[in-house]
Chains A and B, each alone.
Chain A
Amino acid sequence: MAKVKGTIEVDRERCKGCDVCVVACPFKVLSLAPKVNGKGYHYSFMANPDACTGCASCALVCPDSCITVYRKVVE
């Protein structure tokens, strides 16, 4: 059966670790990293990448436009 799979890329240096994308993801893919970026923010990353559907919910709510979303139909 065809299945939709997704992945995202977070611009780590732009990310301000606000957590808004983490809460918006319906599939609990995202988490804030224990490490920090150059500005001292705990950036968002895919803690559970296999669950991503490429729905773009995270990207829609990101105030700093840090998230790029890709999606593909796989067999």
Chain B
Amino acid sequence: MAEVEKTKENLVYAKNRLLTDVVMHYCPGCSHGTIHKLIAEVIDEMGMEEKAVGISPVGCGVLAYNYIDCDWAESAHGRACAVATGIKRMAPDKMVFTYQGDGDLAAIGTGETIHACNRGENITIIYINNAIYGMTGGQMSPTTLVGMRTATTPQGRDINLHGYPFKISEIAAMLDGTCYVTRQAVNTPANVRKAKKALRKAFEKPMKGQGLALIEFVSTCNSGWKMSPVAANQWMEENMFPEYPLGDLKERD
């Protein structure tokens, strides 16, 4: 059997140089890591390393600035879109993006999010919807599925008590300020490839002054869901995708 030499000319895939060597604190198999990788690859391929400014959230993504080598600011819980607005308005040549979970973006930060979308700020929102507060131990979030068990809904989410799963991407798509709203996932190689293309578009369009782009990643929190990483991906396909279907919700110039 012929050997494949581990040389530069045979190299087809390697860890992106904008990902630092710091070992991520995320649980094994967590979607956050895969999404970080795509962000690093897209910023690098766009040649925007010096222009990219991320706003990290409160939530498991809080330490994103340790892992992706670009400029970052850390915001108070839910306020990332407000911080991004300020930075983008003061430095319009920067490529400003937020990185937020469902608890950060769609619970405590709903007001900031909706109004940034409605104002059409030229920023990119990267929204990690794992339907739970991962960082704090797996409490219900606004996007938790009906019937889904969490630390605060041990009997499952009950619409009479907790209302319905909150679809912030659908709301964002209705607002005149958004230029691109899309829902992606990183559970399979094919979805990772698709998500990367969508992420690039979500970075490019606000830089053309077209308005705000929101990319939702339907994600897993295998620790909070109390499943193995592989079982969590399968559960997401069966339960999350019907409620949060993948694909573009809106695209305009």
Contact = CB atoms under 8 A, between A and B. Distances in A.
A72 B189 contact: no
B198 to A, nearest CB: 15
B12 A65 contact: no
B233 A67 contact: no
B4 A54 contact: yes
A41 B188 contact: no
Contact of B5 (A14, A59, A62, A70): A70
Interface residues of B, number: 37
Interface string B29-43: 111111001000000
B30 A69 contact: no
Interface residues of A, number: 36
A59 B33 CA distance: 12
Q: Which of B16, B26, B29 has the most CB of A within 10 A?
A: B29
A3 B119 CA distance: 54
A56 B5 contact: no
A67 B243 CA distance: 32
A11 B23 CA distance: 11
Nearest to A19: B230
B229 A20 contact: yes
Given A63-B33, A64-B24, A70-B7, A5 B2 contact: yes
B11 interface: yes
Contacts of B32: 63
Contacts of B3: 7
A1 B7 CA distance: 23
A61 B2 contact: no
12 contacts: A18-B28, A18-B29, A54-B12, A60-B192, A61-B34, A63-B24, A63-B28, A63-B32, A70-B6, A71-B4, A71-B10, A71-B12
Interface of B: 1-7, 10-16, 19, 23-24, 26-34, 37, 186-189, 192-193, 228-230, 233
